[in-house]
Amino acid sequence: MPDQSRITALIVAAGTGERAGGDHPKQYRTIRGKTLVAHAIDAFADHPGVGKIRVVIGKGQDAAYLEAIAGRNIEPPVTGGATRQESVRKGLEEIAASGGTDIVLIHDAARPFTPPDVIDRLIDALGSTSSAVPALPVVDSLARTDGSTVDRSEFVTVQTPQAFRFEAILAAHRAWTGEQPATDDAAIARAAGHTVELVKGDPALKKITFAEDFAMPSPTVTRTGLGYDVHAFAAGDHVWLCGVQIPHERTLAGHSDADVGLHALTDAILGALGEGDIGDHFPPSDPQWKGAASHRFLTHARDLATARNATIHHVDVTLICETPKIGSHRAAMRARIAEILAIPEKSVSVKATTTEKLGFTGRSEGIAAQAIATLGTLEE
């Protein structure tokens, strides 16, 4: 990996974004909780290989820019020109005047979501070439306006960031004499005689162009939580397990109804949400929970997940006991858990095992339960 301090991201945010609609340029509009330009900046700021960030903005956009980046501590913006090529050229000249760099990653703020592995591939490629761009194969059929088709295998869609040896792309911009403005910096590099290497791009680098693009769905993050609980047997005539009442010669001792399966599952969901454990939400010292039905605890965890825009994809509970026998009750347990969590039964698993007469469960002194919950949450 080259010296981080000599790798600079140049983010171009000088356009007007008229096709995206709205009252102000699209780079200052919000998607998934942040402005486009803030997303673009953060992607490079969070990457360990990038040392500096410079942003090119349009004339008169200073106030909008400062509000959009919400106090992020980066170099002052550069005022761009009338075309994208002029804006990039001004950004490169400012970098040169400030001491230069070895590698520059030129990126459009209209592509707010830059995966770190794309940055890695671009930097790695510059070990053997002066220019590299991310690209994806064309998957749709291509046709001319007259209806005749073309071989899509000969085409790719080109994305940003585009990576260059700094002196090479600066010289190419200075030498550019094209009558029409260049659509990207790879074209300027090729015009100067440089070979541009293609590296694997990413669909996440989709360019925000039209108003409907701001409604693109948020990606989800999968989170997993684990739960474990134990309750001892006491005198009684039934036990509650996974929301099902089972006749038994003893009961389980606890402040609530001691449903060890639902307690473990509640902790698993709370764990996936980062919301502590069941004792934080329902302290055993609080008399209002004495004898409480444990489905109330699981319902609370479900509601917390809903409030966080999290989807409960799957839950799995393992009951560890010698007695009672679980097999004939498993279907009812799955159905009850699915009902409480408002998820399909196929997303619920209930299993049982013994410890081969070992330990407190093997001696039939109590029941233990383990649970795991898999949730999908919106990216934060």
Give 121-136 pLDDT, tens digit per residue: 999 999 999 999 999 9
Residue from 354, 348, 350 nearest 320 by CA? 354
Say how many residues make up the chain.
380
pLDDT tens digits along 250-309: 999 998 999 999 999 999 999 999 999 999 999 888 888 888 999 999 999 999 988 877
Q: What is the CATH number of domain 220-378?
A: 3.30.1330.50
Average pLDDT value over all residues in the chain? 91
Q: Identify the three-state secondary structure at position 134.
A: strand
pLDDT score of 17: 56
Q: Are 259 and 319 in contact (CB under 8 A)?
A: no
Instruction: Give the pLDDT band (50/70/90) at residue 153.
Output: confident
Q: Using CA atoms, how far apart are residues 5 and 277, in angstroms rounded to an integer?
A: 44
* Helices 295-307, 330-341: crossing angle, 10 deg rounding: 40
Over the stretch 317-332, which tens digit does the pLDDT of each residue have?
999 999 999 999 999 9
pLDDT of residue 187: 95
Mean pLDDT computed over 330-339 = 96
The whole-number pLDDT of residue 20 equals: 46
Name the pLDDT band for 79 (thresholds 50, 70, 90): very high
Q: CATH for 4-215?
A: 3.90.550.10
Please state the domain extents for the chain: 4-215, 220-378
What gap in Å lies between CA 334 and CA 332, rounded to an integer?
Answer: 5
Joined tokens for residue 265: 């599952």
